[in-house]
Amino acid sequence: MWMHAAAAQSPQSTTPLTLAQAEAYALKNHPEIASADFRSNASKQAVNAAQSAYYPTVVGNLTGALVADPGTAIAAGNLTTSSISNRIAVGGALLQMVTDFGRTSALVHTAQFQAKAQGQAAVETREQVLLGVTGAYFDVLSSEAVLHATQQDLESRSLTLRQITALQQSQLKSTLDVSFAQVLESEAELAVYRAENTVHESRARLGAAIGQQQTVNAPLQDEQLPAPLEPDVEALVSLAEQQRPDLLALDARRNAAHQYEQAEKDLRNPLIDVHAAAGEIPEHDRTLHDNYAAAGFNINIPVFTGGLFKARREEADLQAKAEDKDVENLRNQIASDVREAWFEANNAFHQLDVTARLVEQARTGLRLAQARYDNGLGSIVELNEAQLNETSAEIQAASAKYGYLSRRAELDFTTGALR
């Protein structure tokens, strides 16, 4: 697990860029993280919206009727007889829920759990971005190590070609050796071009991983190998179950589903409201008072809804049960992911020692092959094979190192520790 620097190093600077600085830059600038944070903050507003049912609703009214027929006594439709008079009135109305027997409380808890789930989703997005940055960062270092190995191989083959050409001119080597050495130099040159292209591609991917459109041009600072692996993989499984943000988010959604199920059950309960209204009537019919005021209550008791409430309740119940199974399935998947990531990292760790020995053996073999060829005891084919072995060993060692670092980052991701 790598910590992050407080300030983000510019990825276009000529100063070496560390992994922590690249991660800090991504956390600050990646649009996917900003999007997840916006959604998390938006979900918190849903909690405020649900809690608003606890508070009274107060509205103000200004009404004017200037063309009424004063001789009218009754009216059809929505225009009541009390409204058919010339008047100007100013007033307000208040509506306050007294109780809905737990439905609003359940809806508030539903919104709170949904907000918690969205917050954990934002954490998961951060971890996914960091994993992408880490993988792209090590890909750049790995590709640059391969480029360095191919450049060294090209220099070695160019030197060999110059030496053989000089010996051929002195009639100490054949033209066949010169032709073979020229072919080998050209092959090494092609390998360098391919390695350079891979470096450019990996740097472009790193730019996208940190959330920018430009290629990262700053030199990258190498990373030290982390501490040895935790030997008890089951302890990592338990850790993942405690802190994996996707599991925490799904568990919160499961709780939200159960709260919503309770809210749907509470639809069968009565709803009790208090109503009040008051105001002034400065211009009115002579039979009316100058002001008005009233207060009362209303009890809404559901009697028959055509099966609507029952269907909504059963739907919420089934959705909650589905969320229970989703949590169970994710727990199983997490356990499998952690064990697999641990074995991959452990295997990559053991490759470090093997590839280091392989490099030393290949270098020794190249020195011997060069000495044999210089003394006329070996062929150009033998020397070429030794050079290929040495280059291949260097590449495998670099791949093993950065592969192990990538596997460790993936293990941290599966346990929820890549923060």
Task: Quote the pLDDT of residue 4.
Answer: 43
Whole-prediction pTM value?
0.85
Within a domain: 335: yes
Task: Quote the pLDDT of residue 218.
Answer: 92
Q: Which residue has the tokens 């990592």?
A: 236
Please compute, for residue 101, the number of CA atoms within 13 A of its CA located in the half-sphere on the CB side.
12
Range of the domain at 385: 19-55+102-266+306-415
Task: Quote the pLDDT of residue 244.
Answer: 96
Within a domain: 138: yes
- CA–CA distance, 241 with 85 (Å, rounded to integer): 71
Within a domain: 354: yes
- CA–CA distance, 355 with 404 (Å, rounded to integer): 12
Within a domain: 278: no
User: Which one, of 57, 90, 112, lies nearest residue 290 by Cα?
Assistant: 90
Task: Quote the pLDDT of residue 379.
Answer: 79
Residue 256, Cβ density class (10 Å: 0-12 exposed, 13-18 middle, ≥19 buried): buried
> How many domains, in total, are found in the chain?
1
Within a domain: 312: yes
CATH number, residue 347: 1.20.1600.10
**Would you tell me how many other CB atoms lie within 10 Å of the CB of residue 316?**
21
Yes or no: say if 23 and 4 are a contact pair by the CB < 8 Å rule.
yes
Sign of CA dihedral 273, 274, 280, 284: positive
Within a domain: 195: yes
- CA–CA distance, 208 with 185 (Å, rounded to integer): 35
Q: In this structure, what token pair is assigned to residue 36?
A: 């997840």
Q: In this structure, what token pair is assigned to residue 418?
A: 């890549």
Read off the amino acid at residue 377.
L
* pLDDT tens for each residue of the chain, 419 residues long: 333 443 455 566 678 999 999 999 999 999 999 999 999 999 999 999 999 999 999 999 888 766 666 655 555 545 555 556 677 889 999 999 999 999 999 999 999 999 999 999 999 999 999 999 999 999 999 999 999 999 998 988 888 888 888 878 877 777 888 888 888 889 999 999 999 999 999 999 999 999 998 999 999 999 988 888 989 999 999 999 999 999 999 999 999 999 999 999 999 999 999 999 999 988 766 767 788 899 999 999 999 989 999 999 999 999 999 999 999 999 999 999 999 999 999 999 999 999 999 999 999 998 998 888 888 788 788 888 888 889 899 999 999 999 999 999 999 999 999 88
Within a domain: 5: no
Q: In this structure, what token pair is assigned to residue 193?
A: 């071009």
Task: Quote the pLDDT of residue 66.
Answer: 66
Sign of CA dihedral 177, 183, 187, 190: positive
In angstroms and rounded to an integer, the radius of gyration of the C-alpha atoms of the chain is 38
Q: In this structure, what token pair is assigned to residue 210?
A: 């940190």
Task: Quote the pLDDT of residue 207.
Answer: 95
pLDDT in tens, 235-267: 999 999 999 999 999 999 999 999 999 999 999
Task: Quote the pLDDT of residue 11.
Answer: 67
Q: In this structure, what token pair is assigned to residue 211?
A: 């959330």
- CA–CA distance, 267 with 101 (Å, rounded to integer): 9
Q: Side by side, which strands form the sheet with 57-65?
A: 57-65, 87-99, 271-283, 291-300
- CA–CA distance, 159 with 374 (Å, rounded to integer): 13
Task: Quote the pLDDT of residue 2.
Answer: 39
Within a domain: 68: no
Task: Quote the pLDDT of residue 184.
Answer: 87
